[in-house]
Every structure is written in structure tokens, then in C-alpha cells.
Structure 1
Amino acid sequence: MSSSDTHPADPCLPIDPVLDPLRAALRKGHALLQAPTGSGKSTKVPLALMEEDWLADQRILMLEPRRPAARMTAARMAALLGEPLGERVGYQVRFERRVGPRTRIEVITEGILTRRLQRDPGLEGVALVIFDEFHERNLQSDLGLALTLDVAQSLRPELRLLVMSATLDAEPVAALLGGAAIIRGEGRSFPVEVRYADRAPETDVARSASASIRRALVEEAGDILAFLPGTGEINRCLEQLGNLTADGVDILPLHGSLPTAEQDKALLPGHGRQRRIIVATDIAETSVTIQGIRVVVDTGFTRKPRFDPGSGLTRLVTEPISRASAEQRAGRAGRLGPGVCYRLWTPAQEHGRPEHRTAEILQSDLAPVALELALWGVKDPTQLSWLDPPPAPAWSQAIDLLRALGGLDDSGGITRLGRAMAELPLHPRLAVMLLSASPADRLTAANLCALVSERDPFITGADRPRPADLGSRLHALEALRDRRPPSDMDRNRLKAVERVAAQLMRMIERSEAKSGNQTRSPGALLALAYPDRVAQRRDGTDDRYLLASGAGAVLPRDDALAVHPYLVVAAMDAKGRDGRIQLALPVDEAELQARFDARIDQAREVTWDAEREAVACRAVSRLGAITLSSRPVPLQPGDDATRLLLERIGEQFDRALNWSETARQLQARVGLMRRHDSSGDWPDLSRETLKDTLEDWLAPWIQGKTRLAELQRLDLATLLTARLSWDQQQRLEQETPTAFVTPAGNKRAIDYCAGDIPVLAAPLQELFGLDDTPRVCMNRVPVLLHLLSPARRPMQVTQDLAGFWARGYAEVRKELRGRYPKHHWPEDPAEARALVGGIKRRGVRTSG
């Protein structure tokens, strides 16, 4: 509302000087009015325009973003006219209507406009649509403006649009309206002293707010309005302020989920001399003036839903308000006289806040919008004019969901079910559930719709966590109707839920709902709305679940629902790796099989059995990402066991195959030839290449095999040899012999795996008579000799045997003669005879 609420007798309001320019602008076309809150625009402008000639006795529709604002604004205008509501001024909000045949100004919430446009695209009898407080950029306001603009451009060029805002960037909106005139008005408010915090506030917002409220009570006079992010913080703050009531202070909450009577206690003027403390969400930020306020305590936070198109889930995010919102809140303290605003953040922190709030269309679930546009005949949102077009990822997710629910066909056109869904004031998910319920299930379905869409009636506290079971709320509704609601439920909230359910029952009885008498459990009904949120408990856990969508979810600690293997999740916070389940119902597997028979995939799946280390086949029944049943079945000839075996070998390359010494030596010998024989076209048998090319060289050898144990019996040396041509095999044996025959006549192995240089380990005495180092690979690579003592211990390592005989042997001979005096240690080893079995023989050079 405007400041006229507090000065009803004052004929001159800040908005008055711009009324004539506004009238002139609207006679020509659309207009945008930018004027501060408190200027009187919400009540004075519609009344000032009501008798304009171009209206021709037609109606004015004025949109308000919230139900309390719509009711109070209409009531104030009716009071200024000296008439009851429903005469020349009326209002309509969800499930509530005060409009008569003489009504000229109708104040409505934004969703009501969408419904009216769908039923009457020409808006017959309406000459002007006013979008009040448009800077809040609600999803429905953006949709309503896009649809109304479409009507004005294609059907009703005489229809006028007026966008009113206090802080909106005016030029882009004026451009959207086709170059509409911008009328700027002045506000009238008293100075407000802003007091910042000396240091960053503590994380407990409720505690910080209660401390600042107590401080303001001592330092300042007048009523206090405190802004907190949500109802949880409000309730905790009220608890901490509870003892102030004994001092004659009236403490009142204000948020959108309160019953109308409870909201009016805070919105209407107080009585007597008792000071009031009103603890509110951002519902009190704009539109509605709360009389008597002189002090504002602003925590600087708000809580908004944020939609994740990837998961299809929404989470509530507590975030800093914009600087524009902070100014709106502070202005509440300057309506009656000079005021004070306590900001619970530092001046430095203010610079990091955004200038304006983000449009809801950029971060919301767009399924309701997509359904409305489909009913409007629009498949591509770019066909309409938007201040911010719907983001493509969220739009795509919305279309996929509506197709899954049956609201859209494959081409994106609306179905008969989709038309019925759009008629209900519910999210498309809930509309499907209500429309698909049989007469026997309708009351349960309506109760579920109301419980999910309205404020949770469960009473929480520090020692009472909120359980996830929706069933307890259903039982509480039944108990309420029997006049015995349980103590852990809020009676007023239950009554609000009951009223919504009753309204839905009346609406569904008039619609083309499903006939028949099929009955379903509440969980099975809920699955109609949330097929992607059917959840299966993960193996080995008692509180973690996997959703059919593939996302993870976790129940609150020690929640009673954890005993159920299957749940249907109606509400969850997507924050974190696994979203936290807030509301859910159990469902039986048999019901899932029956309900989703057409969506359940039946398949034979060839998988890897880690326990048996073998390829296995199972017949699997799957709903999305969750497996309903799985049983083993025999493998068939067409099953691709080889692919799975190759994948497992790739993961366990060194263990899965029988890497014998012979195979390793062959691999190293070929590698040596690749390095030194560039013309030989030798294959790459390195570990990395073999692992990367398993399908090329190994697949033919494992056809028909299913177990890792069978692979261990493969002779890998034979498989690798097969990679060589006949000529390469012969050349490999010639140039990289596996052994060397010493002058003593003994065959000693050459180790090609020891490194880049092959190693030959032999007793020193067996090499007497050998004048130079043995060589391999076209005589290009001298082997690395490990010369051993009679005890087979290394005495010398060399690639230059001749040099060792000439320069190092003499010293080694002295040491060996001392240790092994009975052995023969000649002075000239190159000319000596090698010892074989005690027999001296002339050394000869031989290999192969």
C-alpha cells in the first residue's frame, strides 16, 4: 500500500503532481510509473484513472504480488470511496473473491490474471491492466506481462498496460512496452537514520535479530518491524523475545503462510499504548504499509527457491538482499516521522550486494510457465516479448517433465490432460495426481495436493525435528475433521490445508476427472505426481536413497520412513551431494510395477560379476535409474562377453593376464629391436600400447571365454609372438638370443627386462679366455656383464670386458685369491682356459 494509508484525510499525496501526466500518457498508450513506496501510487492511481473517458466504463485490473497486499490495497481503496468491498472496488486471490457487478477496480494476484487470460484471451470488459510492484520480478508477473502484451499487440490494440514500480530500471521496461512513456514521481518520507553493525554478524540470524530488537526497544520509541529470511528464523526469534510480553510488548509474526486473521493482526493498526514488535519475512518489504512502524531491524537476508535444471530439483537458498530491497525496508521506518534502521551488516559488506533482485524466471522451475504457454498456443517462448527470456536449460527440463506427465505430446503441443491440468491452481505435477485419481481416491489426492502446496502444519522445535512422513499429516487432517487433531500439528495450518483441499474437491468434481473405482495407497497416488522421485533405498544404508531421476537423497536422521525400501519424495532440498528429503510417503514395489508398467524397462544386461570375476547376465526390471528386480539368466551367443572381459583386463592389466617371465623377456627383446633397428618395422609391445590396443591383439584369443581365471591359462608369450612375422621371429632369435654360452660351455641367460641394457650374469671364472664383451642386436649393444664370485656374488659390473681384464682384474684377482685360494686365478684371463667341472679348457666366444 501507499502512505495514503497513514494520512487518509490528507488530500495531497506525493503521487498527485504526476497524475495528470500519467492520464495523458495512458490516453496515448502504455505507460510506466516510477515512484517510491509511500508515494500513494497503489491506492491513488487506480482511483484517479477510474473515470477516464477511454476506459468507457470498463474495468481496471491491478496485479499485486502477494495475497495480503491484494486484500489490503482493495480494502483501503474501498474505504476511501466510503463503500464496502465488492462495490466499485473488489479483489480476488486464490480461493477468495469479493467482486460484484458494479466493480470497476479489481485487485488480483498475478496467477489470477493468467487464469483469466487463458479463459478469455481478449480480456473483454477490461481496459487497463496495472502491474504494481513490478520490481519484485515474480515469475507470474513476467508471464502475465508477456501474455497481456501479446493480447495488446494482436487482439486488443486499445488495451492499456501500466507498469508501476519503486526501484525498477525503467528504460528496459519502457522499451518492452514499445517505447512507453516513463512518468517519475516523488515520494514523501521522513529521514531515516541508518545504523550499521560494527562487525560482521554471527551466523545465527535469529539470535542477532533478537539482540538488536532488544537494543532498539531501549534506544528508540515506536513500533519495531524486523525482517528475517524465513519462518524458521521468525519462530526462533519469537522464542527468544517471549519474555518481553510481560513488559507490555505485543510480539507478532508476519509471513505468507499465516491465516488471514493472523496476518491482519500485524498489518492493521495496534490498539492502546502497547508497543508492537512485528517479525516478518520480505512480505512486509513492499505493497503493504504496516502502520505505527518507526524502527526497522534488517538482518539483510531473504530466502528464495533456486531451481537446478540438471537435477530437476529446487532448493531454498538464504541469500543477501539487494541494495534496492535494503532501501525499501529502511523506508518503512520513515512513513510517520523520522525513523531508525538497524542494518545487521557492516558498510563494507554492503558494497558486495547486488543492485537489484534477480528475476524469478531466471532461477525457477518453469514447468507451470511452459504449460501455460502451451495452452496459449506457444511452443517457443521467444515468440513472446520478455524482459528476461526463460533460460534454455530450465525450459528444456520443463518440457521433458510435462511430456513425462502427459501434459504435452511429442511435438510439444498441449494434450487434453494438459488442458485440464492448466485449469487447476496447482503445479502440473499435483494437477496430474488430482486428475488421475479415481473418485475413491480424490479426497486423499486433494489432501496431498493441499499438504504439499500449503505450509507444513507440523510443529517443530529445537528438540522436535520435522519428520518426513506425509502420512502423519494425512492422519492429522482426518483427526481434525473428527475434532481431535494431534498436539504436534498446528491447528490453524491444518485448517488452512483443509480449506484448500475442500476447494480442490469442488473444482475436481466439475472437471473431466478420471472415472472408475480403482484405489491406490497415498504413496502410489503421490507417484503420479513425482514419477522421477520414486526412491529406492541404497544397499547397505538405512537413510540414503536413489531417485528414479538418478539423483541421490537422504532422510533426516532416525526418520521413521527409513524402514521402507521404496519412497515417493514430494519435497526435498537439493543442497549438497544428496538432497535432503523433507516430505515423502512409502510405496510398495508391486504398486510401482502396476502404476509404471509402461515406463518400466525390461532388459537382459550383460554385466561383470566382481565376486566371481566373470561375465554374467541378468534379467533386469528398471524404473529410470532404480532397479526394481534383477535375476541371473544364462549367457547367450549374442551377448558381448568379450567387451566386458577387455574392459576388466584394461582395469587390471598387470594382474588379469599371465605375464610369465618368457612373455616379459619377449616384450623387452622386441622393444630393444625397435630402438636399434629402424628398418625392421617392429610392433610396439610396450605395456601402454598393449593396454590401449587390447581389442586389436587380444580379442581374437578370448572369444567364448567369460572368466578371468580362463585368461590366466593363456600363453601370453605365444600371443605376443604372433604379433611378429615369420622373418621377424627368426631375426629376433638371431639378434636377441635368450642365452649366452660361456667359454666354459655353460649356457647363461640374458636378462632383457633389467633395463635398457641387457644383463648377462656369469661366474668370472667361466669367462676366462673371452677377450671382449658379448654383443646383441646386430652387434650394436654390448651386454652389461655381472661378474660373479664362486659364491655367486657380484664382483664387478661392466660393459667393457677387455678394459676390465687390462685395468681392473689384477686388483680383483688379489682379493679372490685370498678368499678362494683353491680356485685357479690366472694372471692373463683373456688367454687362460675356463674352468668347467675342474677341467681347464681354452675359452671360445660363442652365443645363441
Structure 2
Amino acid sequence: MPFFDLDRIGRDLPFARAVPQLREALRGGVAVVQAPPGTGKTTVVPPVVAEFVAGDDDAAPGRVVVVQPRRVAARAAARRLATLTGSRPGDVVGWSVRGERQVGPRTRVEFVTPGIMLRRLLADPELPGTAAVVLDEVHERRVESDLLVGMLAELRQLREDLTVVAMSATVDAARFAALLGGDEPAPVVDCPSALHPLDVVWQPGPPRLDERGVTPAFLSHVARTAADVHRRALAQDPSVDALVFLPGAREVSRVAAELRGPGVEVLELHGQLTPREQDRAVAGRAPGDPPRIVVSTSLAESSLTVSGVRLVVDSGLARQPRRDAGRGISGLVTVSASKASAEQRAGRAARQGPGTVVRCYDDAAWGAMPAHTVPEVRTADLTFACLALAVWGAPGGDGLALPDPLPPRARADAEDVLRGLGAVAEDGRATELGRLLVTLPVEPRWGRALLDGAELVGPRLTAEVLAALSDAPRIQAADIPSHLRGLRSGRGSETQWWARDVARLERIAPAPNGAPTAAVPRESGEGAVVALARPEWIAHRVDASGDQWLLASGTRAGLEAGSPLRHHEWLAVAELSRAAGRAAAGTGAVIRAAAPLDRDTALLVAGPLAREEVRASFADGRVATRKVRAVGAIELSSTPVSADPETAGPAVRDALARDGLDLLTWGDAALALRARLALLHRHLGDPWPAVDDAALAARLDEWLGPELRDVARGASLRSVRVADALRRLLPWPEAARFDELAPPRLPVPSGNTARIDYPPTFSAEEPAQPPVVSVKLQECFGWAETPRVVDGRVPVQFHLLSPGRHTLAITEDLASFWSGPYAQVRADMRGRYPKHPWPEDPWNAVATAKTSRALRRDG
């Protein structure tokens, strides 16, 4: 007898009509399902796949694993399918999410989260006991789901019997079909929308965001709007429930509090609630229950159906991961949701009948929304992703069919972190420690803290801290110890969930060899655990008020007013976010979660960041050298010491790299020499050296090395004779012809010499300019052929001057000048300068710098 009655399961669900098409697609072992929310794909597809992989043998081994992006969605989908099969949860249909497992020997369909599935793959890449994997909601583009696409595509090359199905609610189906299909795209199974008529109402209010996040005025507007439209809807249909979308748990709690009142049940739905509270929000209203308003994050956007909802109120905001690579900050920020997300939210109102969506923003804000949500891989911290890929054997995702490659900068940053943890080797492959860290149910940094913290402060305290921070909860006043005291007291809805996590992590933590290290005072225990995970975020108070803090990484951050942590001198920071305004104290970052440390513990847990070294800085042309004891950028003590070339040299080079070669004193001789070299390089190439800024910086030690060593010993950079240094770049033996190829002066017919001014065009990208000789016109009489330099390749440009040193003509062709324009110059000038010769025949006149009288007297 079949486990699944597909007629009963698919009754009244639009996707049931696509089952024949899906069965045909599954013959190739891989398929992509494209179906809008509400069509029933999450309910219908898994049992169809289970039926397909079983064939005629219902007892055939192999389970269908369905990957859901969210825990609450996995549990809800499993419960619904179990109900439709007439079995209890954990029997034929079960689930495995963090801290909770409901499966048994008869389980044919198991719903899991992406993290669970990833760790199974990494533990045993052949997935024994698994006959099929269904990836639901792949359009959400979570990092872990993207990794699963690439890994499963590769696994299918080894296990042709493994069936893989990807399900998307949007138009990304073709991309995933190409990735999973191998040689040719996988078949795509389409299902039309199941939405009923939907009314869209615009209800804009005050500004939604300011420098601190979502404005209180806007949250009150959302609450008032939801209350008003729900009241009016109930007057026409008492069965209508409402669903309100907000970006995060804090906003959900604030609006829910404003909505609570007589006659209406207000439920919250977000990731920090207990499973029981989440399940209650998802379940339908029982007969006799009051009308409901469910206030939710994006958790209810696509993979959950909240029963009874015919009214949606949308804030148009979402919380998404963002990286600040410059300051090493990763976290969730509030942004405008995408149009695709807003459409999915709206569709929640029209799944079970005609509905209404009220958008608490105007059409201008709608027009500014991005079309689709940015894939998480482009914005999130990739430390766990890079560790998973290293363990898989594809460092950085090289060779995997990923929907998007890992961004190079984020990948490099993540791999640097993993090397610092000892999780990957220099070649990018996972170490034994890395293979251990990837099995832990926490991010790699916190996994390392779990291993080391158990020895330092004991497994119990370590597990408590990690469990308290595992879901990035909102920490009141950023005070982790206070948050922990509340959890230990048993108050609050999250206590049960936290206690379960503590027990699980404590079991995983290694048993200490002895008593916890006595060097850590009790009041620094929580901070020690946090600092083991993020030593670069050890923070030291900058001012007496505790407004500003300097982190070991060099970042400055503010601490919100009223936090009891402000009187401590040291903190271990667990969460840091970009922010502006008073809380950030002008730093651009604010501490969201931290625990106190003392100085000795900070030094103990800082690892390589705690060091004593000689540091050099460069200012006003000289190097200052100090012996410093520090934790990263936090200096504990500083003593001036004599300049040391090994330490001071890099400071000088860094200053030149940062501020450019203008730090040198470029006299006329140095500029002239550089210009001559530049002309030879432009026209002759090698071995004549390039002398643009980049080329000189690249060969700094070669031409400026001795002077840099003198500066490192205490000399001033301004005293460097740059012209002498540049001569070290002259190539030998070609340098013997340097003055011939680019002479500094040019003999003229009067018997004098004139300086050649070479153009300061040091880069090949700049337009070529000729060398220039400025000389009195009378000194050039009789000169027919224009001189050339660089072996005759480059003509000299003449600026012919009046006796008063004003330019009369510019020419690169002296013969043409004497034959033409000279006559007009003579007519204009002979009356102004009557004492100087202006012959009618310049070809046969005597070239001279003298006046006519002096010329006659000497003649």
C-alpha cells in the first residue's frame, strides 16, 4: 500500500495538475519546478518524488530530503504533509532542524534546513540512505542553498541514481536548469499562479528610515494602518485574518505591542521565537477563536502559508546581510525590499480567496525598489561558505556549478579568516581543524571559541554564551551578561530554546583537561568566550564617557547611550554594525552586543594580536620609532627608541606609496634629468627606464635604496639629492651616450649654448611634446637645419626671443621661418629694438648676442 495518497494530498492544489509533467521530467533524474507561492508545490512535489524513487517497491531504501531555507517553514511543511498522509509527525514525514529532530525508521520524506543538508554532504559526500534531494525556494539565493546547487550537481556525476529537484517561485528556473542539468538543461515543470483577485491599496506615511534604522513614527503608522484596515475588513467578513510584514524581530515586537487590544489576537512570527510560538502563528484559526493579526518578518514571505490570511499590510522593508569590507563589519541592515519580495508578500492575501494588500509607502518608493533581491553571496560574510567549499575539495568554489561565483574580495577576506583560525592551509585545502569546525552547528569563528573556551572558562559558560548569540538576537543595551542573566532566570519566551541549545553545545564541547584557567576573572568569562571568536573586535575605551571605543582591528565604534558597559575599560564585541547618529559617536559604527573584559584577559585571548614590537611612523619628512606593547591597533604602552632600518624602512616606503613621490624634494636638476630619461624611454624604449610615478615606485630600492636607509636611521627625506639617486637608473653601457642623445645644452651659431628644456611628460599616456630651446632670434642667423636629439628622431622646438626676452616666434623649421615669417617679425621689431641687428638677409648675417654697435666695434 503506498505511503502517500496523491489524490488526497493534491486536492484543491493547483500544482496537482502538473504532476504528470513532473513525473515525466523525473525520468532524467533531475528537474526544476517553477511555481508561484500558493500553488502547493512544497506539499505535492516531495511525495511525488518519493513515489518516483520507490518505483514499484514501497519498501525500497532511500529517503527524500526536502531542503527548506527556514526552520519554521520546514516544520510547518512537514506537519502539513504528515496530516495529509494521516500519520503523526516523525513517522512517514519528519524534519530535522537545529536542535530538533523528528524522524523514524519509516520516514520517507524529511524536511531539513540548508545548514543541516550541507553538513550531511560534507560528512559523507555520497549521501547514503538518501534517494532524492528537493531544494525548495532556490530563488531566495541564500548562500548555503547556492552551495548545495553546485555540490549536488557535482554529486550527480558520481551518483546517477540520486534524484535532484530544484523549486523556484520566480523566473530563475532556466538558470538552475542549466546548472543542474549537466550536458543539457534539466526539464522545467511550470505551474500557473493560483492567486485570487487582489486589491492593492497605497497608504504612505512618514519617512520609513533614518540614520538609526526604521523610524518609530513609521512603525506607529504601520500599526494604525493594520488596525484600521483589519477592523473594516472584519465588518464585511469576520473570517479575515491579517498578516503584517516588517523587516526584523525588534520592529515586529514593537508593532505587535501597539496592535494588542480586546477582540483581536496578535501573534508574532520571527526566527527568535520558540518552535511552539512559531507554529502557533502559522496554524490556522480554530473555530471560536478571535480574529488574528500575525506580525512577521520576511519569514512568512514565500515558503509558509499562514492560514486564513486575506489581508496583508506591507512595510516594504527587509533586513539583508551587508559587508563593510574596509572595516570588517558584516551584519544585517534594513533596506527597501525588492519588487519580487513585495509581490510575494502581496500574494499571501490572495491564496485562499480574494484579498487586499495595503502598502505603507507610495508608488515613487515602489519605483525605486530593486527588481529582485540581491543574491546573498554578493553581500554576506563568506567564512562558513569558504570553509564548506574547502572541505568539499573545491576551494573558493572553483570548478563548481554555482549560480554566482564568490566575489573575489569577500572570498579573500573569508580565506584570510580561515587561515588565521587554522581551518585551511595555504593551498586553500581544509585542515583537520577545519573539518572539525565545519561539523559544529555554529559559524567557524564561534566553533573555534567553543573548542578553546571549554578549556579556558569551562564548557558550560562557553555553551551558554554561544547559544545566547546563535541567532543574532537583539541585545538590550548591547549588554551580553545582562541578556544571559535573563535567559538563566527562565524569563522570556526564548529561554526553552536557549536551554536546548546550551545542552547541545555543551555535549559537543571538549572536556577540559583540568579546572578552568584561573587567570580569567569571573566577570570576564563571557567576554573571554566572545573574544576567542572575534579577537580583532577586542575594544578599548577611548574617552571617559564611554562614547567611543577603539577595536584591535583599528575600527572605531560607538556604544549606545545608557549601556551599563560604558564604565568598563575593555570590551569583547560580538556584534558591530554600520550606523550614524548619536549612538555611533561619529565613528560610523555602533556596538550592538559586547561583554566586559579586563586587560590581562584581553592579552590572554587576543592570540597573535597581543604583541610587543617596534613600530615606526613617518611625518614631517622623518621617521619616529617606538617600542609598543599592543593588542592590534590598541596601544598599551609606547617608548621612543632609536631608529631601526629594518622597522623604519617599511614606514618610509609606505609613506611614499601612500602620499607619492612628491614627498621628495624635486629640484631643477632632478626634474630635468627625469624629463630627459622620460624622452629617451618614450622614443627608444628599453634599456632606457620608464620614470613615471608607478615605475619609479616599483624600483624604489634600486634607485633610492641608500637614501632610504639613511632616512630610516634618522635623516630627513627632504635632504635626499634626488638627481644623484636617479642617475642609478642609467643603463650601462648605454649611459655613455646619455648626454649625446639628450644633451642638456645646445650650441647656437652665436657661439653660446642654450639650455634645452625637456618636457615633463613622464608617462606614455601623456601627449608627446618636443624639447624646447629658448634663445634670442639674433643668435640663430644663418641656421638653416633645425637640430634634432635622440639620434635625430626628435626635432627641437625653438622659441625665438626678442632682445627683451619676449617670444617672437615658435618653430620646429628654422629654414621656413627665415624664408617667410621673419620678414614680418623684422618689420615689427626693428623700430622697437633699433640697437639690435635686423638684417634683410638673415641667411648671411652674423649670428650674435650683441647690439649692432658692439658688433661693429668688435668687428
TM-score, normalised with respect to structure 2:
0.70
| Aligned residues: CA RMSD | 4.7
Q: CA deviation at 1:412?
A: 1.9
Match of 1:191 among 182, 197, 206: 197
CA deviations 1:727-773 (Å, max 9, x no partner) are: xxxxxxxxxxxxxxxxxxxxxxxxxxxxxxxxxxxxxxxxxxxxxxx
Q: CA deviation at 1:546?
A: 2.2
Instruction: Tell me, yes or no, if structure 1 residue 350 matches structure 2 residue 366.
Output: yes
2:468 partner amino acid? L
Matched with 2:459 is 442
Instruction: Tell me, yes or no, if structure 1 residue 622 matches structure 2 residue 626.
Output: no
Task: State the SS of the aligned residue for 2:319.
Answer: strand
1:474 partner amino acid? L
Q: Which residues in structure 2 correspond to 1:53-202 (within 5 Å)? A: 53-54=54-55, 56-154=60-158, 156-178=159-181, 179-197=185-203
Alignment partners' CA distance in 2, 1:234 and 1:647: 50
Q: Which runs of 5+ in 2 are unaligned?
A: 210-214, 235-239, 581-586, 660-664, 673-696, 720-801, 806-859
Task: State the SS of the aligned residue for 2:509.
Answer: helix
CA deviations 1:13-68 (Å, max 9, x no partner) are: 31122101111110222101111222121112222332334494421111111111
Q: CA deviation at 1:605?
A: 3.3
Task: State the SS of the aligned residue for 1:60.
Answer: strand
Matched with 1:467 is 477
CA deviations 1:426-447 (Å, max 9, x no partner) are: 0101100011124552111111
> For residues 589 and 334 of structure 1, do their structure 2 counterparts lie closer, same or farther at Cα, with a shift above 3 Å needed?
same
Matched with 2:280 is 265
Matched with 2:226 is 213
Q: CA deviation at 1:616?
A: 5.0
More displaced stretch, 313-322 vs 248-257: 313-322
Alignment partners' CA distance in 2, 1:704 and 1:148: 57
Instruction: Tell me, yes or no, if structure 1 residue 360 matches structure 2 residue 381.
Output: no
Alignment partners' CA distance in 2, 1:122 and 1:706: 64
Task: State the SS of the aligned residue for 2:576.
Answer: strand
> For residues 182 and 563 of structure 1, do their structure 2 counterparts lie closer, same or farther at Cα, with a shift above 3 Å needed?
same
Q: CA deviation at 1:257?
A: 1.0
Q: Which residues in structure 2 correspond to 1:289-328 (within 5 Å)? A: 289-328=305-344
Alignment partners' CA distance in 2, 1:642 and 1:258: 53
Instruction: Tell me, yes or no, if structure 1 residue 225 matches structure 2 residue 255.
Output: no
> For residues 269 and 198 of structure 1, do their structure 2 counterparts lie closer, same or farther at Cα, with a shift above 3 Å needed?
closer
Alignment partners' CA distance in 2, 1:148 and 1:98: 24
Alignment partners' CA distance in 1, 2:650 and 2:201: 73
Instruction: Tell me, yes or no, if structure 1 residue 452 matches structure 2 residue 469.
Output: yes
> For residues 644 and 181 of structure 1, do their structure 2 counterparts lie closer, same or farther at Cα, with a shift above 3 Å needed?
closer
More displaced stretch, 193-202 vs 439-448: 193-202
Q: Which residues in structure 2 correspond to 1:240-259 (within 5 Å)? A: 240-242=258-260, 245-246=261-262, 248-259=263-274
Matched with 1:508 is 509
Instruction: Tell me, yes or no, if structure 1 residue 589 matches structure 2 residue 604.
Output: no
Q: CA deviation at 1:644?
A: 7.8
TM-score, normalised with respect to structure 1:
0.71
Q: Which runs of 5+ in 1 are unaligned?
A: 459-465, 486-490, 652-656, 658-666, 672-691, 713-779, 784-848
CA deviations 1:610-664 (Å, max 9, x no partner) are: 9xx996542112333332332233557988699989999x99xxxxx9xxxxxxx
Instruction: Tell me, yes or no, if structure 1 residue 49 matches structure 2 residue 62.
Output: no
Query: 2:396 touches 2:406 (CA, 8 Å); kept in 1?
Result: no
CA deviations 1:580-617 (Å, max 9, x no partner) are: 0011122233233334464444333345799xx99654
CA deviations 1:446-471 (Å, max 9, x no partner) are: 1111122135375xxxxxxx322322
Matched with 1:26 is 26
> For residues 703 and 277 of structure 1, do their structure 2 counterparts lie closer, same or farther at Cα, with a shift above 3 Å needed?
closer
> For residues 470 and 46 of structure 1, do their structure 2 counterparts lie closer, same or farther at Cα, with a shift above 3 Å needed?
same
Query: 1:64 touches 1:108 (CA, 8 Å); kept in 2?
Result: yes
Query: 2:323 touches 2:380 (CA, 8 Å); kept in 1?
Result: yes
CA deviations 1:510-555 (Å, max 9, x no partner) are: xx87777435342233221112212233367732222222222221
Matched with 1:793 is none
Q: CA deviation at 1:122?
A: 0.8
Alignment partners' CA distance in 1, 2:357 and 2:651: 70
Alignment partners' CA distance in 1, 2:46 and 2:15: 12
Instruction: Tell me, yes or no, if structure 1 residue 549 matches structure 2 residue 546.
Output: no
2:486 partner amino acid? A
2:517 partner amino acid? Q
Matched with 1:662 is none
Alignment partners' CA distance in 1, 2:337 and 2:617: 52
Alignment partners' CA distance in 1, 2:654 and 2:577: 41
Alignment partners' CA distance in 2, 1:409 and 1:449: 26
Matched with 1:371 is 387
More displaced stretch, 107-116 vs 317-326: 317-326
Task: State the SS of the aligned residue for 1:157.
Answer: coil
2:163 partner amino acid? R
1:250 partner amino acid? E
Alignment partners' CA distance in 2, 1:643 and 1:379: 35
Query: 2:30 touches 2:163 (CA, 8 Å); kept in 1?
Result: yes
More displaced stretch, 205-214 vs 85-94: 205-214
Alignment partners' CA distance in 2, 1:642 and 1:89: 64
Q: CA deviation at 1:276?
A: 1.1
> For residues 553 and 782 of structure 1, do their structure 2 counterparts lie closer, same or farther at Cα, with a shift above 3 Å needed?
same
Task: State the SS of the aligned residue for 1:50.
Answer: helix
Matched with 1:566 is 570
Query: 1:641 touches 1:706 (CA, 8 Å); kept in 2?
Result: no
Query: 2:312 touches 2:349 (CA, 8 Å); kept in 1?
Result: yes
Q: Which structure is larger by alpha-carbon Rg, 1 or 2?
A: 1
CA deviations 1:762-820 (Å, max 9, x no partner) are: xxxxxxxxxxxxxxxxxx9999xxxxxxxxxxxxxxxxxxxxxxxxxxxxxxxxxxxxx
Alignment partners' CA distance in 2, 1:643 and 1:550: 17
> For residues 164 and 546 of structure 1, do their structure 2 counterparts lie closer, same or farther at Cα, with a shift above 3 Å needed?
same
More displaced stretch, 323-332 vs 428-437: 323-332
Alignment partners' CA distance in 2, 1:578 and 1:782: 61
Task: State the SS of the aligned residue for 1:115.
Answer: helix
Matched with 2:855 is none
Alignment partners' CA distance in 2, 1:77 and 1:127: 19
> For residues 614 and 61 of structure 1, do their structure 2 counterparts lie closer, same or farther at Cα, with a shift above 3 Å needed?
closer
> For residues 318 and 597 of structure 1, do their structure 2 counterparts lie closer, same or farther at Cα, with a shift above 3 Å needed?
closer
Alignment partners' CA distance in 2, 1:389 and 1:545: 36
Alignment partners' CA distance in 2, 1:500 and 1:320: 33
> For residues 644 and 395 of structure 1, do their structure 2 counterparts lie closer, same or farther at Cα, with a shift above 3 Å needed?
closer
Q: Which residues in structure 2 correspond to 1:328-727 (within 5 Å)? A: 328-439=344-455, 440-454=457-471, 456=473, 466-478=476-488, 480=489, 491-509=492-510, 517-519=516-518, 520=520, 521-522=524-525, 523-538=527-542, 542-575=546-579, 577-596=587-606, 598-607=608-617, 616-634=624-642
> For residues 385 and 172 of structure 1, do their structure 2 counterparts lie closer, same or farther at Cα, with a shift above 3 Å needed?
same
2:245 partner amino acid? F
Alignment partners' CA distance in 1, 2:503 and 2:623: 57
Alignment partners' CA distance in 2, 1:703 and 1:444: 52
Alignment partners' CA distance in 2, 1:438 and 1:89: 37
Query: 2:206 touches 2:221 (CA, 8 Å); kept in 1?
Result: no
Alignment partners' CA distance in 2, 1:633 and 1:436: 37
Task: State the SS of the aligned residue for 1:141.
Answer: helix
Alignment partners' CA distance in 2, 1:531 and 1:38: 46
> For residues 282 and 640 of structure 1, do their structure 2 counterparts lie closer, same or farther at Cα, with a shift above 3 Å needed?
closer
2:282 partner amino acid? L
> For residues 51 and 515 of structure 1, do their structure 2 counterparts lie closer, same or farther at Cα, with a shift above 3 Å needed?
farther
Task: State the SS of the aligned residue for 1:279.
Answer: strand
